Structure 1
Amino acid sequence: MDFLRPASWQEALAAKAEYPTAVPIAGGTDLMVEINFDHRRPDALLDLNRITELREWETGRQTVRLGASVPYSRIMEHLRAELPGLAQAAHTVASPQIRNRGGVGGNLGTASPAGDAHPALLASGARIEAVSVRGTRMIDVDDFYLGVKRNALAPDELIRAVHLPKATGPQAFAKVGTRNAMVIAVCAFGLALHPDRRTVRTGIGSAAPTPVRARVAEDFLTAALADGGHWDSGRPPAPSVAAEFARLVAGAANPIDDVRGTAAYRRHALGVLARRTLGWTWQAYREQDRSPACA
């Protein structure tokens, strides 16, 4: 196995162009498990740890440009207000040691449906900055996941950053696992309220071949909130609305039976998570809205 260690971003792109089968490694929290258990034996590893810009972020007026290797612990510490859903998801990632090493770029590169970052990225509407010696392109997160552990990157492309809209409303993330730490999600769910557009977005993890949005559920809840005047009044949606939203979220999943849980359990759990996150985010929305109608 060859080991490539570029000192700059340009060197990394050149190496990836010359060795397109080389697997990038930064935190290594997913890849090294596969290598150590001999589940994967790549021809070459492309070490990105000397490229400091991948561990940096920029906060603009409307977006955050998050370097691919920014550790989850830094997201939790510094970007909780701008990216609350992703910060909540970061809290659930493995152990403190792994949160200090792993980053969103690794989750995206691996494209495992169980990656903790995916539901928050889908719910927020992220875009992935993919770069090669041929140039840069932006990939909507909705178009990024192609199949089980398959993504839309070309063989010579690397993820440089992820662009996420700054939260304009409450966001929430929740997952079900067999314990509170060092666990792969049985299922996970992310919800983001976008009061500036009066829409909602969702993200489902570990309950389909790829991370997915519950689009029918989003459309239903968006219409229900608008028709009921909830954005202006702050009144919580009726229990029947929450129940239907939960049912539609569960219906958007396409889970399997495996050692972590049955398909039926995953669907049930997703419905529970959908109701809970809707309650949490709407309560937060009421508390942050200071208009007289919500007093």
Structure 2
Amino acid sequence: MQVALTINGAPRHLNCEAHTTLLGALRAQGLTGCKEGCAEGECGACAVLVARPAPDGGTRWDSVNACLALLPALDGAEVVTAEGLGSPSALHPAQRELAVRGGSQCGYCTPGFVVSMTAEYLRPGRQPGEHGAPNGFDIHALSGNLCRCTGYRPIQDAAYALGDPDPADPLAARRSLPAPGPARTLLQAADGAFHRPGTLSEALALLAAHPDAKVLAGGTDWAVDVNLRRARAAVTVAVDALPELRVFEEHPAFVRLGAGLTLSDLERRLAGRVPLLAEWFPQFASRLIRNSATLGGNLGTASPIGDSPPVLLALDASVELVGPLGARTVPLSAYFSGYRQTVRAPGELIQAVRIPRPLAPLTGFHKITKRRFDDISSVAVAYALTLDGGVVTRARIGLGGVAATPLRALEAEAALEGQPWTADTVRRAARVLGATGTPLSDHRASAAYRAAMLEQSLLKFYWASARTEVGA
């Protein structure tokens, strides 16, 4: 099996298997600045830049975890590693600032930081004062990069010292040119076959012929199994580039989000117009992960601790499924049928997620974790309420981490609807919410802690809304 890539400006043809990661391939080529720290997308030591199409027809440089990218899924792509950014005699600005400001000690994490910093440095439209930074640098662009010896202050200083890209910078100039399109791939190797169809009909035909095929979108979940558990699929079907799964539509009655769009794509395109999603996006893993992860992938895994289901349940979202018998739309509240099980039939794909309008005006998302960012939820709670004259006329509460499936808190919703939005009402509803689900004790949290967090979450949401009203 052989794939074609452009790496640091030079075309290369690489032999690989169906489950070879980009990280493994780069290191085999001698590009050892790309490190393996965790093999599950948490440390960022393997970060690389990938050229992707921008809305204006040019190129956007996205930072991604090379350990989570299967090499066949990048057939035809353009990749830049830390070695491709600069040289000892001509450092890239991100490399130079990290060096002169003491942002590197052992150096293991440094190439990944340099790559993530460069992606944000090259972000179009960065304005002084944006994100509270003098140069508009979003420091959360580095949230997926971990350092264990330097300390983050000098790294942040380096990021805030970056100016505007030099027009002569090859990567900056490259932004005005089209990015390479996805290759239609059919590769056969000893460890399995890898297909990248060009149309939805081709994908559905492949799934009909191979019912047990692994459907690959961003790969941020499946690649962890590949790396850590040596999981293998006899047939893989990559669907991330299918045009039919990359739709983005805003209608008066609903918003339609393609299942193949990355979370970063959705965040940019929505630009805060769905406030609950805007609050949720920064809390989903890291920018490195969000540059690859998709809504379709997160819903497809059907994990009870996935972060998107609670938010989408609160938004009354529906899932559009398409398969050999045609298309159908299923309310997300009826989509999960058991632990990591759904009503999606064999051969069906998630095509899009539909969020109805008008949106509830009072929303919030609480993710209870051991770390503030880039962590797995112990409990996740999303709220969407409509008030009229101080009375709750409609309540939707989505929960994750408290049952075998994500679920709506129907009893707590009923305890709120028709009642005044007051502390007494909320205290009663919070007790109901705390008894919802069947939480388990595990290494992340005890069942009692999870129940307590449900109750405290609703109280916190109420008092936050009360402070907002007083401030107004």
What's the TM-score bracket when you normalise by the shorter of the two chains? Answer: 0.7 to 0.9
Q: Would you say 1:76 and 2:267 are equivalent positions?
A: yes
Aligned match of 2:351 in 139, 143, 160? 160
Matched ranges for 1:245-264 at <5 A: 245-264=429-448
Aligned match of 1:135 in 326, 346, 360? 326
Q: Which residue of the partner structure matches residue 58 of structure 1?
A: 249
Mapped to 2, the partners of 1:121 and 1:24 lie a distance apart of 22
Query: Residue 360 of structure 2 contacts residue 384 of structure 2 at CA under 8 Å; is this kept in 1?
Result: no
SS in 2 for 1:216: helix
How much has 1:286 moved relative to structure 2?
Answer: 8.4
Query: Residue 439 of structure 2 contacts residue 451 of structure 2 at CA under 8 Å; is this kept in 1?
Result: yes
Q: 5+ unaligned residues in a row in structure 1: which ranges?
A: 226-236, 289-295
Which amino acid counterpart does residue 367 of structure 2 have in structure 1?
A: K
Question: Which moved further from structure 2: 244-253 or 213-222?
Answer: 244-253
Aligned match of 1:206 in 401, 407, 425? 401
Mapped to 1, the partners of 2:280 and 2:241 lie a distance apart of 26
How much has 1:61 moved relative to structure 2?
Answer: 0.3
Aligned match of 1:272 in 456, 459, 466? 456
Query: Residue 189 of structure 1 contacts residue 270 of structure 1 at CA under 8 Å; is this kept in 2?
Result: yes
How much has 1:112 moved relative to structure 2?
Answer: 0.2
How much has 1:80 moved relative to structure 2?
Answer: 4.9
How much has 1:74 moved relative to structure 2?
Answer: 2.8
Mapped to 1, the partners of 2:466 and 2:214 lie a distance apart of 42
SS in 2 for 1:198: strand
- Structure 1: which 4+ aligned runs deviate by more than 4 Å? 281-288
Q: Which residue of the partner structure matches residue 231 of structure 1?
A: none
SS in 2 for 1:7: coil
Aligned residues: 277
How much has 1:118 moved relative to structure 2?
Answer: 0.7
Mapped to 1, the partners of 2:251 and 2:471 lie a distance apart of 25
Q: Would you say 1:172 and 2:367 are equivalent positions?
A: no
Mapped to 2, the partners of 1:176 and 1:85 lie a distance apart of 16
Query: Residue 378 of structure 2 contacts residue 450 of structure 2 at CA under 8 Å; is this kept in 1?
Result: yes
State the Cα deviation string for residues 18-74 of structure 1 (Å, max 9, x = none). 111112111111111122222643332110133134233100002100000222223
Higher Cα radius of gyration: 2
Q: Which residue of the partner structure matches residue 216 of structure 1?
A: 411
Question: Which moved further from structure 2: 274-283 or 264-273?
Answer: 274-283
Q: Which residue of the partner structure matches residue 311 of structure 2?
A: 120
Q: Would you say 1:11 and 2:202 are equivalent positions?
A: yes
Mapped to 2, the partners of 1:126 and 1:79 lie a distance apart of 16
Q: Which residue of the partner structure matches residue 183 of structure 1?
A: 375
Which amino acid counterpart does residue 379 of structure 2 have in structure 1?
A: C
SS in 2 for 1:46: strand
Q: Which residue of the partner structure matches residue 291 of structure 1?
A: none
User: Would you tell me which structure has more helix in proportion to its own residues?
Assistant: 1
Change (3 A) 1:80 1:278: farther
Q: 5+ unaligned residues in a row in structure 2: which ranges?
A: 1-191
Query: Residue 75 of structure 1 contacts residue 87 of structure 1 at CA under 8 Å; is this kept in 2?
Result: no
Query: Residue 423 of structure 2 contacts residue 462 of structure 2 at CA under 8 Å; is this kept in 1?
Result: no
How much has 1:278 moved relative to structure 2?
Answer: 3.2
Q: Would you say 1:23 and 2:214 are equivalent positions?
A: yes
Which amino acid counterpart does residue 192 of structure 1 have in structure 2?
A: A
Q: Which residue of the partner structure matches residue 284 of structure 2?
A: 93
How much has 1:170 moved relative to structure 2?
Answer: 2.3
Change (3 A) 1:281 1:161: farther
Change (3 A) 1:105 1:239: same
Mapped to 2, the partners of 1:92 and 1:271 lie a distance apart of 21
How much has 1:241 moved relative to structure 2?
Answer: 1.4
Change (3 A) 1:127 1:286: farther
SS in 2 for 1:224: coil
Question: Which moved further from structure 2: 51-60 or 259-268?
Answer: 51-60
Aligned match of 1:108 in 285, 299, 316? 299
Mapped to 1, the partners of 2:222 and 2:466 lie a distance apart of 38
Which amino acid counterpart does residue 409 of structure 2 have in structure 1?
A: A
How big is the alpha-carbon RMSD for the aligned residues of Structure 1 and Structure 2? 2.1
Change (3 A) 1:123 1:286: farther
Higher RCO structure (Cα 8 Å, ≥6 apart): 1
Mapped to 2, the partners of 1:222 and 1:214 lie a distance apart of 12
Mapped to 2, the partners of 1:78 and 1:280 lie a distance apart of 28
Which amino acid counterpart does residue 241 of structure 1 have in structure 2?
A: T
